[in-house]
Amino acid sequence: MYDERNLLLMTPGPVPIHPRVYEAMNRVICHHRTENFRKVFMECIELSKYVMQTENDVFILTGSGTAAMEAAISNIVEPGDEVICFINGKFSERWFEICQAFGAKCHTYSVEWGKAITPDIVKKAVEEHPEASIATICHNETSTGILNPLPEIAKICRENDLILVVDGITSVGGDYVFPDKWGVNVLVTGSQKCLGCPPGLSLIMVDEQAWEKIKNRKSNKFSYYVDLERYKKSLEKKRETPYTPAITLLFGLRESLTMIKEEGLEQRVKRHRLCGKALREGVKALNLPLFEDENYASNTLTAVSYPQGITDSQFRGLMEKHGVLVAGGQAHLKGKIFRVAHMNIIGEREILTTLATMELVLSEIGWNFEPGSGVSSAIKIFKNKL
Residue type, 249: L
Query: Can you tell me the distance from the alpha carbon of 304 to that of 328, in angstroms, rounded to the nearest whole number?
Result: 10
Determine, following the binding rule CB under 8 A, whether residue 89 of this chain makes contact with a copy of itself.
no
Using CB under 8 A, which of the segments 7-15, 118-126, 144-152, 361-369 binds a copy of itself?
Answer: 7-15
**Smallest gap from residue 215 Cβ to a copy of itself (A):** 16
Determine, following the binding rule CB under 8 A, whether residue 97 of this chain makes contact with a copy of itself.
yes
HSE toward the beta carbon, residue 341, CA cutoff 13 A: 29
Which is closer to a copy of itself, CB of 31 or CB of 237? 31
Query: Can you tell me the distance from the alpha carbon of 77 to that of 219, in angstroms, rounded to the nearest whole number?
Result: 10
Which is closer to a copy of itself, CB of 21 or CB of 154? 21
- Can you tell me which of 2, 36, 161, 238 binds a copy of itself, judged by CB under 8 A? 36
Please name which of 251, 194, 226 lies closest in space to residue 59, comparing C-alpha atoms: 226
Helix or strand run (H / E) with residue 380 = helix 373-384
- Can you tell me which of 24, 25, 166, 214 binds a copy of itself, judged by CB under 8 A? 25
**Smallest gap from residue 226 Cβ to a copy of itself (A):** 7
Determine, following the binding rule CB under 8 A, whether residue 102 of this chain makes contact with a copy of itself.
yes
The 134-138 sheet, strands edge to edge: 57-62, 201-206, 186-190, 163-167, 134-138, 82-87, 105-110
Query: Can you tell me the distance from the alpha carbon of 386 to that of 381, in angstroms, rounded to the nearest whole number?
Result: 5
Helix or strand run (H / E) with residue 164 = strand 163-167
- Can you tell me which of 103, 149, 151, 323 binds a copy of itself, judged by CB under 8 A? 103
Determine, following the binding rule CB under 8 A, whether residue 125 of this chain makes contact with a copy of itself.
no
Please name which of 248, 188, 238, 207 lies closest in space to residue 60, comparing C-alpha atoms: 188
Determine, following the binding rule CB under 8 A, whether residue 41 of this chain makes contact with a copy of itself.
no
Which is closer to a copy of itself, CB of 190 or CB of 374? 190
Query: Can you tell me the distance from the alpha carbon of 182 to that of 215, in angstroms, rounded to the nearest whole number?
Result: 23
The single-letter DSSP state of residue 296 is G
What's the Cα-to-Cα distance from 49 to each of 31, 139, 183, rounded to whole Å?
Answer: 24, 18, 15
Contacts of 220 (CB under 8 A, 6+ apart): none
Q: What long-range pairs does 361-367 form, CB within 8 A, spacing at least 24?
A: 361/315, 361/318, 361/319, 361/322, 362/286, 362/310, 364/318, 365/309, 365/310, 365/314, 365/315, 365/318, 367/286, 367/287, 367/309, 367/310
Determine, following the binding rule CB under 8 A, whether residue 314 of this chain makes contact with a copy of itself.
no
Using CB under 8 A, which of the segments 10-18, 253-261, 276-284, 346-354 binds a copy of itself?
Answer: 10-18
Which is closer to a copy of itself, CB of 144 or CB of 160? 144
Strand ranges for 47-143 from DSSP E: 57-62, 82-87, 105-110, 134-138, 140-141
Determine, following the binding rule CB under 8 A, whether residue 335 of this chain makes contact with a copy of itself.
no
Which is closer to a copy of itself, CB of 66 or CB of 209? 66
**Smallest gap from residue 328 Cβ to a copy of itself (A):** 9
Which is closer to a copy of itself, CB of 25 or CB of 187? 25
**Smallest gap from residue 81 Cβ to a copy of itself (A):** 14
In a 3-state reduction of DSSP, which class is residue 187?
strand
**Smallest gap from residue 130 Cβ to a copy of itself (A):** 26
254-313 residues near a copy of itself, rule: CB under 8 A: none
209-238 residues near a copy of itself, rule: CB under 8 A: 220-227
Q: Are 298 and 342 in contact (CB under 8 A)?
A: no
- Can you tell me which of 190, 276, 282, 329 binds a copy of itself, judged by CB under 8 A? 190
- Can you tell me which of 199, 322, 353, 373 binds a copy of itself, judged by CB under 8 A? 199
**Smallest gap from residue 366 Cβ to a copy of itself (A):** 27
Interacting residues with a copy of itself (CB under 8 A): 3-7, 9, 11, 13-14, 17, 22, 25-32, 34, 36-37, 62-67, 69-70, 73-74, 79, 97-98, 101-103, 190, 192, 198-200, 220-227, 243-249, 325
